[in-house]
Structure 1
C-alpha cells in the first residue's frame, strides 16, 4: 500500500513539472508525443513476482562420480549364533602320527603283560599241585627226575632256572619238604670242582650258609666235588656223576 501511494505521488509531481514548462520548449514539432519529447523519468519500483510457470521437462541424468571409501567404522556387537548347519560328509582317515604309533605299542605291551601275568598265575597253581615250595621270594620245584649234576644244570637252565641253592636255614627247611614227597636226596647248586675244599655256587660266588653232615665234606676217594641235601636237611659231598633228584630254584 505504501509503495502505491509513493508511486502516485511521484507521477503527480512529474505531471506538475511538465505543466510548468512553456509549450515552445516542450517540443519543437507537433509530431512528438508528450512523453517522448520530455526529460526521461525515474525508474519505477520493481513489480510483483509472477506466478510459477509450468514444470519443465526432466533433464538428462548427470554423470555420477563415486567418492573415496571412508575409514571403517567400529565393529558392532557380536550377533546371536545362527542355527547349526547340516553335518558334512565324513572325511578320509588321516595318517597315524608318531604319538598314535607309540600309544598303540604301549597298549599292545599292556595287553601282553596282562596275558603273562595270567599265565604266571596259572603256572604257579600248577606248581603248587606238583609240590613246589615257596620261601621268601624263592620257589623250589622238583622236576621229578633223577640225573647227574651236569644234566641237572641243563634241565633247570632250559626252564629259566638254576639248581636249588638254599642260602638260609628257612630255605634249607623248605627244600627238605620237597624231598619228602619224591626222593631222599637232591643236588645243590654247589661244588668245589675248581679248587678242592673251596665250595662255590655255579656263578662263582663263595658259599655263605652251610649245613654239613658231621664229618662232611670229606672228599671220599678224592672224587666228591658236588653236594647233595639229604632228607634230614643235612649236606654231603658226592661225585658229580652220582644221580640224585633235580630240584630247580625260581
Structure 2
C-alpha cells in the first residue's frame, strides 16, 4: 500500500470517529467539559493536542463556529505570567484576543478559551480549573 493510501485510510478513520478535516489537520470537539489540563490529557490520549491556532483561516473555521461552544485551546501562560505559549512550546505570534483580554482577572487566569462566535477576536484568558469543552488538533497523520 502506498504512503498516500495509508494517509487516506488514517484520515477516514479519524473522520468516522467524529473528527473534522480542515487544511491538512483533523480536529476533535469534545461533547463533555473538563479542566484545561484534563482536556489536554484527553487530546494526548487521542494522539493529538489542544488546538494551536496559527492563522485567521483556522480561527474562523466553520467547524469551530458551527458548534457554538466555549472551548479550551492550547494556549497558556502557566509557566510565566504574561508569556503566552502554545502547547508545543512555541510563542504566541498571531492572536485573537477579545477586547480587554488577556486581563488575568484576580491574577489567576492562565489558560485560554474561545468564548464567543460573533467576532474574529474571541479569546479570553480563564482560570485553568474551569470546566469547558475543548478542541484537539492532529496536524499530520503518518
TM-score past 0.5 threshold? yes
Structure number with larger C-alpha Rg: 1
Q: Is the 8 A contact 1:140 1:178 kept in 2?
A: no
Larger helix share, 1 or 2:
1
**Relative contact order, CA 8 A, sep 6+: which one is greater?**
2
Equivalent in 50, 56, 77 of residue 163 of structure 1: 50
- The within-5 A match list for 1:1-250 is 110=1, 116-117=6-7, 119-127=9-17, 130=18, 132-134=20-22, 136-174=23-61, 177-181=63-67, 183-232=68-117, 233=120, 234-250=122-138
CA deviation vs aligned residue, 1:32-64 (integer Å, no higher than 9, x gap):
xxxxxxxxxxxxxxxxxxxxxxxxxxxxxxxxx
Using the TM superposition, give the Cα deviation of residue 121 of structure 1 relative to its aligned residue in structure 2, in angstroms.
4.6
Larger strand share, 1 or 2:
2
In 2, Cα distance between equivalents of 1:244 and 1:228: 8
Shift in alpha-carbon separation, 1:237–1:125, aligned structure 2, 3 A:
closer
Q: What RMSD in Å do the two structures reach over aligned CA positions?
A: 2.3
Unaligned runs of 5+ residues in structure 2 are none
Moved over 6 A (4+): none
In 2, Cα distance between equivalents of 1:166 and 1:114: 26
Scaled by the length of structure 2, the TM-score of the pair is 0.82
Unaligned runs of 5+ residues in structure 1 are 1-109
Q: Is the 8 A contact 1:148 1:240 kept in 2?
A: yes
Using the TM superposition, give the Cα deviation of residue 150 of structure 1 relative to its aligned residue in structure 2, in angstroms.
0.6
